[in-house]
Copies of this chain bind each other. A is one copy, B any other.
Amino acid sequence: EYEPLLSEKDLTRVDIGDGDNGDGGESTDSPLPDDLTRDSLELPELSEPELARHYTRLSQMIYGIDSGPYPLGSCTMKYNPKFTEDVAALPSAAVHPDRSEASVQGTLELLYRLQDYLGRIGGMDAVTLQPPAGAAGEFVGIRVAAAYHEHNGEGHRNEVIVPESAHGTNFASAALGGYDVVSLPSDDEGRVDLEALEAALSENTAALMLTNPNTLGLFERDIAEIAEMVHDVGGLLYYDGANLNALLGRARPGDMGFDVMHYNVHKTFATPHGGGGPGAGPVGVVDELAPFLPSPRVRKRDANSKTGKPVYERFEPEHTIGKVHGFDGNWLVLVKTFAYIARLGDEGLADASASAVLNANYLAEQIDYEIPYGPFHHEFVASAGEQDAADVAKRMLDYGVHPPTTKWPEIVPEALMTEPTEIESKDTLDRLAAAFNAVADEDADTLEAAPERTTARRIDQTSAARNPRLSWQALADDS
């Protein structure tokens, strides 16, 4: 079961230089003088069959979306349609970013059409596809807001307001942008506390960042009033797109008064998460903010080509903040996003949200844990009560399902933040509920001893952090 490290299977030292062969190492002539080169390189040298077995074995020690339900609240893990991999692998998708515009009209057209799709879905006027992840999108939003205020002579605005239940990236992105973060408490019902908001807003407010539905799955019903309040003090309203899968076809951030938003394409448009990435975090803005978007964007020229086809070109927005990625972001992810949207269309997207909301509500109804806040949409936050939520999660692994996000948001004690998404069938939800309920009946000892049926048993996080060994070299030194 245990798979050795590559380095435990082989380590071969290749000497650089001109024939000085050390003990056991390989050597070949170097085309460069000694002082421009390293001495040697020591890495595993294994054959293709050995590598095929190594990585096949590693893959078998991973739970993916094709293994079973993955109800991670706010992380929105849904099925990744296989055909999107095929289109991203087309040879015509593999072009160098420095190619001339004329020779990559296909790439530019796809980007243009995706900008357009996203604009319509979010109710936004202009979209950039450059941010390589959701957090990068937030950062772009923050930078765009800063540039906007600066441009209007309001560079003094130094505060970004973030609800205490918001995603951690909201705080970090605002801070990376140089803002002071003002944390906003929730009201008793789990939504933005309007009085607290009133108190927090000021002439120093650059923006309020909101997720809607929020991390409890609740729609911020007062969003129109909130938007007015923020705009009244000259601030901007930022939409964190993490929960957009709840609203497709039912409400659009642009219509709610948001000025700027990011889209999490793996959450809303089913691109694979890849064990941590790559993602993409396109940003949409209202017209007023469009001149500040990163460069380049893509537009259609007025005149068509000689063959009658539209011609696309890159352009630099007038007051652009510049670049947030060395090229144009995570292209392959954008191709998959485009393919997903083009496959589902209006009806499919709307159904995705409807089914996601129905699934969350149905699942909630089946589980024994208390759910303090509602009515919720695509996700709900149950409380493990007297149990430790992290232990509950570990024990759920033993029932062959992935657990929910735990211990967050903190407004719910021992939170079990659960989002089944639209891809689960009623049968699977029933199985998932059975796992929740089995664990709910178990005692603390059982939970603390979990998991028992996984590749690795409970892993000691503390010792990993106390004695960090982050490479096979460190491991070798250690032993």
Q: How far does the alpha carbon of A53 sit from the alpha carbon of B70 in the complex, in Å?
A: 12
With A53-B68, A66-B53, A66-B56 already in contact, the answer to whether A48 and B9 are too (CB < 8 A) is no
With A48-B79, A49-B79, A79-B49 already in contact, the answer to whether A427 and B9 are too (CB < 8 A) is yes
- Report how many residues on chain A are interfacial, defined by Cβ distance under 8 Å: 22
Give every chain B residue within 8 A of A79 (Cβ-Cβ). 48-49, 52
Q: How far does the alpha carbon of A428 sit from the alpha carbon of B424 in the complex, in Å?
A: 42
Instruction: Return A419 CB to nearest CB of chain B, in Å.
Output: 15
State which residues 37-52 of A face B: CB under 8 Å. 47-50, 52
Give every chain B residue within 8 A of A425 (Cβ-Cβ). 47, 50
Q: Which one of B47, B56, B68, B81 lies within 8 Å of A67 (CB-CB)?
A: B56
Q: Is the pair A67, B50 in contact by a Cβ cutoff of 8 Å?
A: no
Whether a CB of chain B sits under 8 angstroms from the CB of A462 is no
Whether a CB of chain B sits under 8 angstroms from the CB of A60 is yes
Q: How far does the alpha carbon of A68 sit from the alpha carbon of B60 in the complex, in Å?
A: 13
Q: How far does the alpha carbon of A56 sit from the alpha carbon of B79 in the complex, in Å?
A: 13
Whether a CB of chain B sits under 8 angstroms from the CB of A309 is no
Q: Which one of B48, B56, B82 lies within 8 Å of A81 (CB-CB)?
A: B48
Whether a CB of chain B sits under 8 angstroms from the CB of A423 is yes
State which residues 271-313 of A face B: CB under 8 Å. none
State which residues 46-93 of A face B: CB under 8 Å. 47-50, 52-53, 56-57, 60, 65-68, 79, 81-82
Give every chain B residue within 8 A of A424 (Cβ-Cβ). 49
Task: Annotate A178-218 by CB proximity to B: 1 below 8 A, 0 otherwise.
Answer: 00000000000000000000000000000000000000000
Chain A residues near B (Cβ < 8 Å): 9, 47-50, 52-53, 56-57, 60, 65-68, 79, 81-82, 423-425, 427-428
**Can you list 21 A-B pairs, Cβ within 8 angstroms, ordered by A?**
A9-B427, A47-B423, A47-B425, A48-B79, A48-B81, A48-B82, A49-B65, A49-B79, A49-B423, A49-B424, A50-B428, A52-B66, A52-B79, A52-B82, A53-B66, A53-B67, A53-B68, A56-B66, A56-B67, A57-B67, A60-B60
